[in-house]
Amino acid sequence: MAADETTEFMNWEVDVSSCDGLKQERQLSASQRRYYSFCRRKSFAAFVASKTDGSQEDGITSWCCCSQTFNEHSAIHKHVARTHNAELQQLTQATYERLLRQLEEAPETQQPNKHQTEAADISAWIPDVSHISEEQLKNGPGKVLLYYRYCEVEDPHAICAWQKALCEKLHLTGKVRVATEGINGTVGGTNVAADIYINAMHSHPVFKMDKEDFKTSDGGAECFTDLKVRVYKEIVPMGVDPDVISYQLAGVHLEPEEFHKEVEALLAKGDLCSDTILLDCRNFYESKIGQFTRCLAPNIRKFSYFPDYVDQNLELFRDKKVLMYCTGGIRCERGSAYLRSKDVCKEVYQLKGGIHKYLERFPEGFYRGKLFVFDERYAISSNNDVISGCRYCGCPWDQYELCSTRFCCQLVLSCPSCRQDGHTACCPTCQTKGQAQGEATKHHKEECECTDGRPRIPQDV
């Protein structure tokens, strides 16, 4: 769907969230909901297209509706979303019923066998590695790849099966998320295996990724405990339906050089700069060990809290220029789209390729400290700055370890000296639980001071 269609559909989705059509949709099966969602998007786009003014000059598109002329995409989108809910609902229902009839009338011989199609496609997408030894695929210097691609995926389960088969063949470990909106992954293996994987993603007809779309760092298969490839609703878990807030509404992408200049200008103004916010949309434990100078780093534990953070701090962003960044760029795609949907910011920009690509270009730039990564390494570095301290003694320290208490998944910064003294838990509460071995099983994970003392959604206004 084009960005303009996404905007108008998003607005309509919000406005009709309580109508009978959506109540009916929630009662449908998963496959029926996919059909209905498709019909809803198609109907919205068709309705707007029908309002296009035929007398266009100099290639400029305008729309006529309700005796009004609209020259901006956003204007016609808002008008249609707010004024024509009833007609849109009728169009959606009619389109949905027509689609169901077509499916029922189609002879079984014309309907593809899903499993046969997947098997054939998967076989065609697996590269021939017969000329490469198992030794080259399993042993030797390695690296970790980080990547994502937003695109329309008609059959995410087929892609999931292909990814699993491909990674297993190449002895890659890691995590891959597949959805109808695209793919997001981080995998590790030998340099030979990783390069074959990149070539496979480049040649695939759906993704067609280039080498520069991948962020690389030293590592290998040992950086992950296993391989996890699954189908999800979102390729990055923000907790908002991609059909409601699409990546196509994202902010303006800035190359690392452009972003560097923006940050440089921001720092040059110092306290006099009140119209720009440098926003870190990662989790608190990521920004704690590394961040851009003078950034706003929300104290949130999960990216799924980011929409609520924006909602509860809207005045913070009103009439501001926002410069967003994250690890590899994917969270900014959805995060900037959500922020833009609130229509409060003057401008929204995002760092293309994330901190990864920035550090490739500016290893001693304005990002200081470590870069947190979601694998067994926990962090990688390009400079020697340590911006965080030990949880217990406060001395400079930025190397995370998991809390030693059973069932607790919190990360802890505990220096070697404090660890030697037995301070291996994330907080005194967990330390006590860890000492009482028999009671450990009574506690659910993340029940400790680390979570109880931190507000779920911080108020930064």
Active site residues: 326
- Written in H, E and C, the secondary structure of 177-203 is EEECCEEEEEEEEEHHHHHHHHHHHHH
Q: Look at residue 292 and give its three-state secondary structure.
A: strand
Contact 53, 63 (CB under 8 A): yes
- Classify the C-alpha dihedral 423-424-426-428 as positive or negative: negative
CA–CA separation, 453 vs 358, rounded Å?
Answer: 34
Residues 6+ apart with CB under 8 A from 48: 4, 5, 8, 63, 76, 77, 80
Burial 413-423 (b: 16+ CB within 10 A, else e): bbbeebeeeeb
Angle, vertex CA 326, rays to CA 321 and CA 328, nearest 5: 130
Sheet bearing 252-254, strands edge to edge = 252-254, 347-351, 321-325, 276-280
- Classify the C-alpha dihedral 56-62-63-66 as positive or negative: negative
CA–CA separation, 227 vs 149, rounded Å?
Answer: 19
CA–CA separation, 298 vs 309, rounded Å?
Answer: 8
Give start and end residues of each alpha helix (H) in 84-209: 85-105, 114-125, 134-138, 156-169, 191-203
Neighbours of 458 (CB within 10 A): 15
Angle, vertex CA 324, rays to CA 320 and CA 326, nearest 5: 160
